Amino acid sequence: MRLSEQHAMMRDTVRRYARDRLWPNAARWERERHFPRVELTELAQMGLNAIAVPEQWGGAGMDSTATAIAFEEVSAGDPACGTVMSVNNLVSGILNGYGSDAQKEKYLRPLAAGRMIGAFCLTEPQVGSDAGAITTRAERRGEQWVLNGTKQFITSGKNADVAVVFAVSDKSAGKKGISAFVVPTSSKGWRVARVEDKAGQHASDTAQIALEDCTVPVENLLAQEGLGYRIALANLESGRINIAAQATGIARAALEAALAYARERKSMGKTLIGHQAVNFRLADMATQVEAARQLYLHAAALRDAGEPCLKEASMAKLFASEMAEKVCSDAIQIHGGYGYVSDFPVERLWRAVRVCKIYEGASDIQRLVIGRALERG
């Protein structure tokens, strides 16, 4: 797929920023578990916190293709920044699509400007892919909603300023009894129960959130009561496209590191890239990265055209995440022993990319979605 002039210009701008500001610092941020708030604010000022949100509310007013391209570029610079940015765009998209004007003014505008960090609170300790099985409760008491429950694996849970929280407001209504709420993290009853010690992406915190009589005003209900499950599902396509783009970006960074090393390192009288075994491995890696890019661009183009693309989004996410883990592993292999130590970036990229096969629907969930679409014909 050939990019439009606007998309190519946007890609080049974000790539320069990622190369100059993210990549040189990513290893240190990972090591120090540093949350790069300054750089995330700069990304927001470039319009990357709310890429598909209209300019009226502070967004960039661009499309799904632009969003995915931005995720590839940022994630190639630092995967953790890509993850935080992904959730910021998810929250801003929900607020744009379902929030009232007052909610947009209070939360969407500062989120788009980088004055706020967003969190998306759906997953629970015993509930991952089955979103309809959440147990967090929301009870209306006068002019307030009171939330009780536990949310698990929440990106930016420690550093977020505002969260979209899903809870059961009517237990008898099943999935139609789930509602969504805008919850400032300064709310009474919001508590960071723990910050997870993850394999990778240490610059992006992942937390367990305890909601203990967490109280928000009635006007913080999103849209209307009972629409929470629909709101959560409405973002599946875009979320999966964006994670496919993120995985592609991480794989591309690993490929570029492996290429640089193979051109410089000599063995048996010539550079590694001059050995056919290494050369062929790099050829396969480059082909797989390009194939993943075309898959996510195709899914994004369908979404921009207003056509259904859940199958294509799942295909892109499945292929890109599986591909990226292998490409990062191959990059380590090309580096040999040096690939396994933190002096070189490929082990960090390998650890970072593994989660792409899990979040936004694990690989087997993607296969389930694709298989059902094939069955329907």
Query: Which residues are catalytically annotated?
Result: 360
What Å distances lie between residue 194 and 156, 205, 297, CA to CA? 12, 10, 37
Do the Cβ atoms of 220 and 188 come closer than 8 Å?
Answer: no
What is the number of other CB atoms lying within 10 angstroms of the CB of residue 12? 11
Which region, left, alpha or beta, applies to residue 311 given φ > 0 means left and ψ of -120 to 50 means alpha? alpha
What gap in Å lies between CA 330 and CA 320, rounded to an integer?
15
What Å distances lie between residue 104 and 5, 34, 93, 100, 213, CA to CA? 31, 29, 11, 6, 25
Dmax (CA) for the chain in angstroms is 79
What gap in Å lies between CA 88 and CA 84, rounded to an integer?
6
- Least Cα distance to 299 among 232, 360, 251 occurs for 360
